[in-house]
């Protein structure tokens, strides 16, 4: 039993290291919009501390008291499919491509949703002014 606990701690440590070196934002939610984990890129983008994020509702990150009108989480939970959308982070006024993916338990029930947000590239200025 003690070896299993040590292995689980080691695996969790490795997973956190890997997720924190990813420059894109990774947020894990439960089915009630509650954040259960966020990587360092997300904390930095939202200008938050992990202790202020875990247990909060994801819509609070977007300065809302209720779920966003275009929130992909209900669609992921209802349809069980991967959803793609666009999100704008209020603290940055920057647009992100968002992929929301269901995480299922061994019985196929959706337990969590993983959101991967990648900053959209800045538009090139009219193709560098038609190559000058």
Two tokens at 16? 């956190």
Provide the 8-state DSSP code for 63: T
Q: Selecting from 3.30.450.20, 3.40.630.30, 3.90.1150.140, 3.40.50.300, what CATH number does the domain 24-121 have?
A: 3.30.450.20
For the chain, where are the alpha helices, taking DSSP H only?
Answer: 2-21, 40-46, 50-53, 73-79, 126-131
The angle subtended at Cα 102 by Cα 23 and Cα 110, nearest 5°, is 140
Question: Which pTM was predicted?
Answer: 0.81
The angle subtended at Cα 128 by Cα 122 and Cα 130, nearest 5°, is 135
pLDDT digits (tens, 9 = 90+) for 11-49: 888 887 888 888 999 999 998 899 999 999 999 988 999
Domain coordinates of the chain in residue numbers? 24-121
d(C-alpha 97, C-alpha 85), whole Å:
6
């Amino acid at each position: 039993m003690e070896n299993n606990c040590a292995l689980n701690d080691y695996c969790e440590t490795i997973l956190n290291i890997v997720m924190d070196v990813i420059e894109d934002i990774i947020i894990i939610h439960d089915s009630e919009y509650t954040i259960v984990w966020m990587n360092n890129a997300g904390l930095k983008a939202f200008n938050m501390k992990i202790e202020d994020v875990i247990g909060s509702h994801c819509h609070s990150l977007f300065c809302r008291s209720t779920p966003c009108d275009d929130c992909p989480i209900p669609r992921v939970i209802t349809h069980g499919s991967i959803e793609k959308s666009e999100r704008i982070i209020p603290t940055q006024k920057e647009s992100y491509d968002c992929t929301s993916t269901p995480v299922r338990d061994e019985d196929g029930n959706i337990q969590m949703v993983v959101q991967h947000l990648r900053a959209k590239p800045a538009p090139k200025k009219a193709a560098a002014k038609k190559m000058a």
